[in-house]
Each structure stands twice: as C-alpha cells, then as structure tokens.
Structure 1
C-alpha cells in the first residue's frame, strides 16, 4: 500500500489530512485519487466505510480555486445525514486551503441556505437531490461554473426514487465537466446514467467489500433507555473489557465526552480524532499499541486506516448510520484467527437502524432488551418509493 505522499496531492491538502489523522490511503483512495487528479470521469463501485468521501474529496479540494468565489463542485448524496457528514469531512480536508463548503438538504430552512448562497463564498455544495433541485428552480443555486460533479451512493438514490431529480440536475450542468459516480452496487439504471452522461473514455474502479470472519466474532446488543445508556455501558465494560478495546461513537464531541467519563471512572482511556495535533495523535496510538492505554474512543473517520493489532473487544456506544460501517467496526476484532467480541448499545429510537443491521448482515446478534418499550423484529415489507423532500 502506498502513502498519501506517493499520490498526486498538494502540500496544503497533505497538511490537512495529516491533521485529520489519515495515515495510509485505503484501496479506493489509492486507486481513485490519481484518476480524478488527471481529470477523467470515473465510475467507482465501493461500499460506505471504505473511505470514498476522501477518495473524491481530496482531489476535488486540490482542483477547486478558492480565490474564485463561484460554485465549482456539486456533490449529490441521498440523505441529510450524509450531506452533513460529507460536508464536514470536505471542510476538514480543505481547512488549509480555506475552502468553503455548504450543505443543503430538506428538513432545514431553505432561506437559511439561500442566505449562505447569496454570500457567494462557497466553492463546493453538498446536497440532497430534492433540495438541490428546489434551489436551482428558485434561481439561487447557479451551476454554470461547476467543473466537477459527484454522485455519491447512486444506488441508494435510485431506491429512494430520486432518478428524475438526478437527471434534471445533471441536465443543468455545463457541458464541460468531470463526473465522478460512486455506488455500492451497479444496477442497470446506474449503467444507463453512465452511458448517457459520462465521457466515452471514463475509467472504472471496483473495490471488493471488506470481508470479515463474523463467525469468529461474538456479537451482543443491549437495547436500553437513553437515561440508562452510559451506566449500562459501564457495567458491561467492567465485565467484558479486554486488554485492548475500541469504543466507537458517531461524533468527535461524543468521543471526547465518553473518554472523559471513562477517565473519571478510573479507566485508562483516551479519545482520538481529527482535532488532535499529529504529535498527540501519534502518542495516543503508540500508547494504545504498546498497552499503556487500554481503551481507544474513536469515530469511524479517526479509526479508518489505522494499523492496530490485538483488539479483543469492540463497543458501539452509538450505532453507525449504515450497515457497512457496522461491519467495518466489528472487523477490528476477531482478526488473525483469533476470536473477538463486538458489543453494541442502542435506544428504542434506533430500532430501525438495528433492524437494518440484523436484516442485511443476517448476523447472529444476541439481543438483551433492558427497555420497557417492546421491540419489534424486522419484517419483510414491500419496497416503497420515497416522496421527494
């Protein structure tokens, strides 16, 4: 595997991703960044959790001119959660270059987003199809200077009934542009989109889903009411903690909060995330690898690409937003022929997330329900088309 310094990345962006804690490029980053950097269209088959946001985000940040206060890149994603997540990561990647990134999505005041568009500082817009189309129709989102267009998780957008919006948005883009299409699967509709909109000489990248020997990983899930979540986590941790344990959270703030509470309770724990200096990050990792630190509290982004061996137990203090990230997390344990343990905690409001994990992974997860609210097992439902928002 190469290093980021081996890839066509500017010193400014290398500085930013170093501060974020990126150590080595993932497979999709290693294969995709050179292709995007050279200006080719690309269709990449890659799962969530493989590092694909940085795969297109790193070269995009390098390509945009931050002195030219015009929207030069548009990224379409299926959900508001992903829009926020992608925009946040792009802001971190573009921190040294001072790249302005705006997320636009339904469920939040459109006038607030219009206000930011009117300022004219943003060079990259990340948005959901419905809100992007609405802003185009109102005349506030101008695409005439867009040189790079990314369609992220294209198959999910098709499942959600966004195909017409996508085609409409793509028809409004300038003729000369670079298109980057990312999808976990390649149904015929995706191939048709590629044939219609991508250049004839587009490149393809295919990343095999990460294989995890789940038969060596004992999976347990505690369903708890929110008020009892941390105390239950502490009880379980005391009984199950191995020599090396990783606790996963969704945000940097929660990673800090959980790590601080663990330290107050006497655990040898530390958070790790992109706000750490490179020196502090390396010191934390060294302490964890050498056994001076027992528990690492990390977000998915911080833990991605880390070379850590001997992790006995993984805790999902918060469930990830997608199933691929769940598989990626629990795959941190049960490696090199050893058995591992993955323990998750979720509240009744997260039932649908847990049901999705059960349904797609078909994993034998032992459920311990400590909540008074009934838990309904997932049922096979007919697919419904989502109303555009």
Structure 2
C-alpha cells in the first residue's frame, strides 16, 4: 500500500503517482485529498509549490472515474427504453414533471398556480426530436404572472432562468439564462399565445391573438438531439392557463399555417417516462476547473491527463479550453462527450451561454487562484457569478476553491454564497515553507556602491524605467531620484553577479512590471545568457514557447511577473530571484 492509498486513493492511480516521483503526500495533499474524497466542499490555502494542484486533481479524477463506472453499469437496456405507444390525444401537461404546488385538472390541459408570490411550472409529456416545425397554444384563464415556452429535461421548471429553456412572460419580456428582454406585448386574461418552434431553421418565437412577433431566439442545433430535445413548458404565479397541444380536444384558435404541425401530432416525439428522472447522461461533463491563465490551464490539464491516462473501463475524457486550441476540435469533443473540462472563465462562460457546454450533469466546480479571480471586479468575478447562475445545483455537490491567499472578505462572501459548510484547509504562512527553500535578501545601496555611475554610461547595462529622464541626476549625492536610479541599475549588476557566483544553470527571475521583464530579458541577452520572457503583453504562442523552452532547458532563465507565473509548476529549478524595487525607495 502506498502512502497515498492510506488517504483513500485507489491503487489504479499508483502508476501515475510513481511517474511524477511522488513518494509521500505533501502537507496540503494530506489534508485536502481525504476531505474532497469525503464529499466536502473545500477552501485550500497553501504556498505555490506545495502540491496544491495535485491535491485537487488526484481526488477529482478518482471521483469522476468511480461515478462514470457506476453510471455505466446502471445504463443497461430496460423495457423503459422502448418507445411507448401514445396517441395525439394522450399529449398533455405532465403531472409527474411539475412543481408539486401546480394544480392540473383531469384533462391535463388546464393548470393553475394558486400560491401567491411563488412560481410553479411543468413540462409537456414529450419532447420534439430531429427537424420539423411545431406549435401549441396557451389561453390565459386567470390573470396573474405567467410564462410559456420550451425547456429541455435538464432545465429548471422556472423556464427562462437557465440556458436550457426559453420563455415569454405576461409583462412582455422574453427570457433565457436569467436575461429578460423586451419582446412583443404584455398579455392578460383571455389572450391566446402561440408558441412556435422551428427545428429546421433553429428558431423560436411567439404570437399573441394571431399576431406573430419576430424571431425571439436562434437556438443551438443540439436541441434537435434526443438528449437535449425541447418540451412545451408553462410557468404560473397566482395565475391559470389552458393549453392546447393540438391533440384533437379542440381546434386551434389561431392556426399556425406555414407548414407548422401541432406538437401532439409530431412524428418524432420523445415521450417522458418515470425513468427519465434517473437517466444518466454519459456525455456531459461532471467537473469544470477554472484557471486564470492559459499556462495554468495547460499545466492543470496535463496533471489531469496524467492521472486519467492510467484509468480504463471507462476512460476519463478530458478537454483543455486554453487559448490557441482549435475551437472546431473543442466543439466536436463537447458534442461527443467529455468528463472534465479545464479552462479560463471567459471561455467556459461563453460556451455555456451559447449552449455548447452542457451543465446538467455537473457535479464539481474547482476554482484555482480564486482570490485573483474575485479581485477582478469587471472581468473574472462577473464571469464566475454568471457561471454559477447557470448551475443552480452545483452548490449541492462540490465546490473547491484554492489559492495562496484565501483570507479576504471577497473569498468569505463567495464561500457563504456558493459553498456548503466548506472545510478550510489553511497551510498558508511561514511555518509551511519547505525546509528545502532558503531565502536570501541582497541589500542594494546606491549610496555605498557607486559602481552604477560608471555602469550607467556603458553600452551594456540594465535599462531603467525612464521615470527619471526629466530629473536632475547628481551622482555622488544623497538625492532621492539619483539613488533611485542607481538602485535600479545596480540590481542588474547584482543579478549577473549572483548567476556567476552561484553557477546558476537555471533560474526564474520575477519582476514587478512587464516593462522590467522586457528590460531584464534584454540585459541577460546582452550578457550572453539565454533567457525568455513571460508576461501578459506577450502573445499566447510566445508565452507557451518561452515556458516550453525553459522546461526543456533551451533557456537558462525565465523572466516573468509574479502574477503570470503564479502557480506554475516547473520541475528542477534550483533558484528563484525576485527583482523588485521596494516601496520605500519610490
């Protein structure tokens, strides 16, 4: 038994662990792995380089594999998979697929929501598969708030509040993904609403009392599939509706024309059965992992692939949504099925909103470097909030948040809103720094060390940031601007001295700004050192080439900002140099 097996890791993952030369779990892995395997939401705070990525990747892969294996064993053919035989007159509102407080009469064609200030909904008995043009009518029998439209089985019964349903409400609003836009006109008692679904041209729209409104939504082609087919859906709040699916009980008040067919008379109907509630979807992802940068997406994806690659029957299908990956290939993979998705929030939210990334089976969300996300109020923080609005059930399964720094108000608010009694795994602080890491502070004093004056006029010297170009520089004095400039030049000298004195063959050099990174890279090249730069202004291809060149030893030095390099895992780096001008010098 390996040390990892003592924490609940299955023996099948031993080969992958051995390939990474992991002998013993790190402190954060010892705490996090049992917690995640036990089903707890987890907030993980640990230093970069502590094994934090492995702490969530390893148990997540195991859980996904075990759940897929159990689901596959349950997905054996049963008599319920034989298409039932129904007639058009059997089509009605589904009493077994409704909110419990929605009242449905004996015909199955009239419903009421009688509880004030509460929404209650239901779907029809069958979904529409393949192509074709379909129509049903709804008459408002009791004034109140209501909404009519279309929804998949994965959608909330509160239609229009997720990315699996489309609604048109009595206030004259259309809705999709909790976005409500002006559409058509408002309606009230005795108004007749026509609901149109065109699966040939992939469009949805509505009419009122025979007046057609413009196309409301262009929909994704996935809604033609049996797994994502659309069912008629209604929603009431203290209101009543009478529905005509065209099953022969009464003629349409406003026949649709133009080749449209009554829903109840459609040739390709996926009839609902009780087993639908327990149907396991083996194609949509179980886990989404969010990373802030392309480099971290690729790094985490490689970790996931390492662990998933040793598991068979079933195989775990993983996909990277890193910038630069072929979008057509990504879409093909999502359509054929995947289990774990790794990407940045912008890519993931875009695919969810466009209906390309299904979320109905999602059971885990992992957010790495969460404090960095939440600090970006106008970008990533909003995207994460958008994603969670599309995942109403995620907080009941598993949310894992990781970072080097968790103790701030925004993270606490996130945990209160989206996590269920999370377990705090806090290994952040001086006491958890590895015994193999040694810190050395090099004092730079431009007043004492005056060699910068001579170096400043040499062709090879570290270029400064030019903020002193308009200042009067007076070498040999204690002038503040003069010493600031001298300190910046001296740091380049000291970097080269440290490389030579310690015989550094590989090191990461951190700079505070992107400009300093560029200047340091150029300075190292001037001193005949191979170096590559990594920061946000370089293209994704340049950053990837720099990182790969450094990992393969083609570049001795990697110069980067601490934000971009945060969480990067590069094996065999004996030195790290922080090149930062302290605030006191400004």
Tell whether the 8 Å contact from 2:40 to 2:398 is kept in structure 1 after alignment.
yes
Task: Note if 1:183 corresponds to 2:403.
Answer: yes
Give a deviation string over 1:165-223, Cα, whole Å, max 9, x none. Answer: 11111222252311111122222111111001111x32110012454542278973574
Segments of 5+ residues of structure 2 without an aligned counterpart are: 70-281, 444-493, 500-519, 532-545
The match for 2:384 is 166
The match for 1:83 is 297
Give a deviation string over 1:299-329, Cα, whole Å, max 9, x none. Answer: xxxxxxxxxxxxxxxx953347525669997
The match for 2:339 is 123
Alignment length, in residue pairs? 268
Given candidates 110, 115, 120, the residue that maps to 2:327 is 110
Q: Greater relative contact order (Cα 8 A, min sep 6): structure 1 or 2?
A: 1
Tell whether the 8 Å contact from 1:143 to 1:174 is kept in structure 2 after alignment.
no
Q: Distance in 1 between matches of 2:364 and 2:321?
A: 17
Partner secondary structure for residue 579 of structure 2: helix
Tell whether the 8 Å contact from 2:284 to 2:334 is kept in structure 1 after alignment.
no
Change (3 A) 1:111 1:205: same
The match for 1:32 is 32
Tell whether the 8 Å contact from 2:404 to 2:428 is kept in structure 1 after alignment.
no
Change (3 A) 1:343 1:163: closer
Change (3 A) 1:190 1:112: same
Task: Note if 1:70 corresponds to 2:290.
Answer: no
The match for 1:152 is 368
Q: Distance in 1 between matches of 2:304 and 2:371?
A: 22
The match for 1:302 is none
The answer to which structure has the higher strand fraction is 2
Change (3 A) 1:86 1:317: same
The answer to which structure has the higher helix fraction is 1
Q: Distance in 2 between matches of 1:60 and 1:163?
A: 24
Q: Distance in 2 between matches of 1:180 and 1:232?
A: 41
Q: Distance in 2 between matches of 1:104 and 1:191?
A: 28
Q: Distance in 2 between matches of 1:4 and 1:133?
A: 35
Q: Distance in 1 between matches of 2:49 and 2:576?
A: 19
Change (3 A) 1:58 1:111: same
Tell whether the 8 Å contact from 2:521 to 2:559 is kept in structure 1 after alignment.
no
RMSD: 3.7
Q: Distance in 1 between matches of 2:14 and 2:296?
A: 24
Change (3 A) 1:256 1:322: closer
Q: How does 1:1-389 map to 2 (within 5 A)?
A: 3-65=3-65, 66=68, 68-97=282-311, 98-106=315-323, 108-120=325-337, 122-160=338-376, 161-175=379-393, 176-185=396-405, 186-199=407-420, 201-209=421-429, 211=433, 212-215=437-440, 220=495, 223-224=520-521, 232=529, 250-251=547-548, 255=551, 258=554, 317-319=557-559, 321-322=564-565, 342=575, 357-359=578-580
Give a deviation string over 1:311-367, Cα, whole Å, max 9, x none. Answer: xxxx9533475256699977x5xxxxxxxxx477xxxxxxxxxxxx4349x69xxxx
Larger Cα-atom Rg: 2
Tell whether the 8 Å contact from 2:295 to 2:568 is kept in structure 1 after alignment.
no
Deviation at 1:115, TM superposition (A): 2.3
Partner secondary structure for residue 24 of structure 1: coil
Q: Distance in 1 between matches of 2:47 and 2:289?
A: 17
Q: TM-score, normalised by structure 1?
A: 0.60
Q: Distance in 2 between matches of 1:202 and 1:329?
A: 34
Tell whether the 8 Å contact from 2:41 to 2:399 is kept in structure 1 after alignment.
yes
Tell whether the 8 Å contact from 2:299 to 2:568 is kept in structure 1 after alignment.
no
Q: Distance in 2 between matches of 1:324 and 1:125?
A: 19
Tell whether the 8 Å contact from 2:285 to 2:359 is kept in structure 1 after alignment.
yes
The match for 2:106 is none
